[in-house]
Amino acid sequence: MMLGLPLLLVSIVLFLAQEQYAQSALDTLSKGVEDFSFDLLQRIAVETQKSNKNFMISPFSVWSLLVLLYEGSEGETLSQLRQALRINVEDETLRSFYRARNQFLNTKKAGVEVGSLLAVYTDKSFSIMKGYRDTIQSYSAQTEEVDFSRADTVRRINDAIDRSTRGLIKNSVKQQDLYGAKMFLLSALYFKGQWTFAFNPAMTKIQPFHNENGAVVAQVPMMIQEAAFAYSSNVRGLGGQVLELPYGSLEWMSMIVVLPDPGVTLNTLANNLKTVGLQPILQELAEYKTKYGTDEVEVMVPKFETATDISLKEILSQMGIRDLFDEKTANLGRMAPGLFASLCKHSSKIIVNEQGTTAAAVTQASIFNRFGSTPILLNRPFQYMIVEKETGLLLFAGQVWNPKAS
């Protein structure tokens, strides 16, 4: 009897150590996804600065698509994708991470609906390796054999996008996108959330919206609400004030709005977000709720709708993913020999109104601060994010220069 005890104790210690290691690896990957998301957001903010255009992206949708390409890559192409995507764990941990996230990526509960689709289309004249086909099942990716030369294939793919985004994004794939293609990879993400504290349409008023220099650029419908919103101006290094607009009765997802401090540009704010990260923001908001949970604050948020179509090829190249798009150097040998990516584009749309938010890509909003009874007034350019708070997963993000511009 006594001989068995040490072995039993050792077994328990090893099991606990393995469990702790697994959780640590998942936490490391979560931080990597966050870093990728803010890097992508900051680079797109720089690209759109000259035109002062609203934009929205879904960082996690982009990350998911690139992970499918990573799983099919080898050599330097794999190394570049691994570094840019911040994949610093074993491949099986990566797949476990996605499986865990996939549980809530197709969820409908308590006033919040999230839907996702990963799909890999292959031309009927082409075969991918069985090992790759088996691997992508870990991501619940749908596979389908089609004829890219047929016009109804474009319609078929667009119908899948239409269904997965509940009609929000239509006809984003063109016939020329499939010309000469052997494979087509698709990542779609949909979100619809009802505000925990809905805005009364009767209270919405037309008010001026200013640019970064203080000039009025538009008269916009401003939604007004007084409720127990969490906010903070104390996030060190951010250069802005944050406001949480929760969704649903469980408040497991929220829009985090970030309003730059006076004199801080959206570009500077995006760069600061990249450095500060999401967790300090969520911690500040949680601390506010602990201290002042029932205190009400008046917020004024513009109604807005943004549609974005953007090519990511150049931006991803800037992030270090170069060989993937080079016909001579691309190595997708775990998919099939001789492949390279000819394009990578992202389509998204967000609608924010009195009832809540509907998005099929990124969302953005920023905040103002309140002292005493001073309202939080979002009447100048801001950034926003839609996040799952428990894991810190950033589903959508964007910025608003002018709520009236589409």
Contact 361, 347 (CB under 8 A): yes
- pLDDT tens figures, 132-162: 999 999 999 999 999 988 889 999 989 999 9
Q: How confident is the model at residue 282 (pLDDT cuts 50, 70, 90)?
A: very high
- pLDDT tens figures, 217-269: 999 999 999 999 999 998 999 999 999 999 998 889 999 999 999 999 999 99
CA-based R_g, the chain, Å: 23
Residues composing the chain: 406
Is the CATH number 3.40.50.1010 carried by domain 201-304+354-400?
A: no
**Domain boundaries, given as residue ranges, for the chain:** 49-194+305-350, 201-304+354-400
- pLDDT tens figures, 9-46: 454 554 444 455 456 777 889 999 999 999 999 999 98
User: Residue 320: which of 47, 31, 66, 64 has the closest Cα?
Assistant: 66
- Coil, strand or helix at 398: strand
Please state the pTM of the whole predicted model: 0.89
Cα 118 from Cα 144, distance rounded (Å): 11
315's torsion region: left (phi>0), alpha (psi -120 to 50) or beta?
Answer: alpha
DSSP characters over 318-370: HTT--GGG-TTT---TTT-TT------EEEEEEEE-SSEEEESS---------
What kind and span of H or E run contains 287?
helix 279-292
- pLDDT tens figures, 100-116: 888 888 888 889 998 88
Q: What is the β-pairing status of strands 55-57 and 376-377? A: unpaired
Cα 241 from Cα 401, distance rounded (Å): 17
Contact 43, 318 (CB under 8 A): yes
Q: What pLDDT, on a 0 to 100 scale, did the predictor assign at position 345?
A: 85
What is the fold, at CATH topology level, of the domain defined by 49-194+305-350?
Answer: Antithrombin; Chain I, domain 2 (3.30.497)
Q: What pLDDT, on a 0 to 100 scale, did the predictor assign at position 361?
A: 37
Q: How confident is the model at residue 207 (pLDDT cuts 50, 70, 90)?
A: very high
Q: What pLDDT, on a 0 to 100 scale, did the predictor assign at position 49?
A: 80
Structure tokens, 201: 């349409």
Residues 374-393 have a mean pLDDT of 88
Cα 349 from Cα 360, distance rounded (Å): 5
User: Residue 189: which of 362, 41, 310, 39 has the closest Cα?
Assistant: 362
Contact 217, 211 (CB under 8 A): yes
